[in-house]
Amino acid sequence: MESAATPDTLLAGACVLFTLCMFSAGLSDLRHMQTTRSVNNIQFLPFLTTDVNNLSWLSYGLLKGDKTLIVVNAVGAFLQTFYMLTYLHYCPRKRTVLLQTAALLGVLLLGYSYFQLLVPDWTSRLRQLGLFCSIFTISMYLSPLADLVKIIQTKSTQCLSFSLTVATLLASASWTLYGFRLRDLYIMVPNIPGVLTSLIRLGLFWQYRQVQEKSYSLLQT
């Protein structure tokens, strides 16, 4: 029992560590907002969608009784909410931000009401909530694909964060293995696109780093 529990404990710890590293990427945006007292070149929507994703998975974790999901997503929801409040504080156009927040909070409220009132069966509720979380997570991982097209066209990876890409790869891989160990497809499947898109980004870093170094050397001659 102990030998089986040890790998599971390490895997759960890896999920917590790497996911929190991924969430902490917003700290650089937070410092920028506090230093410049502005939100220039910072988008609000990623904070909002990540917060909704965290709250959804937190609900799934509470329903299933999974401590790893609860801890990660409770901390993630707190961080994203803090980023959002900081953005709102420095944002000159608060009306747009508040409307976006109200819209997604309304969707969350409707979803909560649906699961509580119309899906009384625990198994059905867990299955439907897991499906919603999976689809939402997959859409978040696939949404930056448009940026990859831009990178290929410009042959520049300046719009990508290498540390965030590595953290996303490690977090996605950890959750994929975690879902596999639990035989939970709702955890395992949506993290596979995260692994694949992260590997594609790392490949672009490797390919266009060489192009950029070559261009720099030509400028020096």
- Per-position DSSP letters for 110-144, written without gaps between them: HHHHIIIII---HHHHHHHHHHHHHHHHHHHHHTT
Residue 1 lies in a domain: no
* pTM (2 d.p.): 0.84
Structural domain includes residue 120: yes
Total domains in the chain come to: 1
Mean pLDDT over 146-174 rounds to 82
Give the integer Cα–Cα distance in Å for 118 and 207: 51
210 in a structural domain: yes
Distance, in Å, from the CA atom of 160 to the CA atom of 166, rounded to the nearest integer, reads 11
**Rounded Cα gap, residues 152 and 134, in angstroms:** 28
pLDDT at 82 over 80: yes
Range of the domain at 88: 7-220
> At 92, is the pLDDT very low, low, confident or very high (cuts 50, 70, 90)?
confident
Helices (H), the chain: 2-23, 26-36, 45-64, 67-90, 94-113, 122-142, 145-154, 162-182, 185-220
Q: Is the model's pLDDT at 168 over the cut of 50?
A: yes
Give the position of tokens 């790998």.
7
Three-state DSSP state, 91: coil
Question: Is 118 or 189 the better-scoring residue by pLDDT?
Answer: 189
- Is 38 a domain residue? yes
Band (pLDDT 50/70/90 cuts) for residue 133 is: very high
214: in domain: yes
In a domain? residue 2: no
Domain contains 176: yes
The arithmetic mean of pLDDT across residues 30-51, rounded, is 87
Reported as a pLDDT band with limits 50, 70 and 90, residue 151 is confident
Q: 42: closest CA among 52, 51, 30?
A: 30
pLDDT, residue 184, reads 95
CA gap 195, 20 in Å, rounded: 17
Are the C-beta atoms of residues 19 and 29 closer than 8 Å to each other?
A: no
Mean pLDDT, the chain, rounded, equals 84
Above 70 in pLDDT, residue 76? yes
Contact 141, 75 (CB under 8 A): no
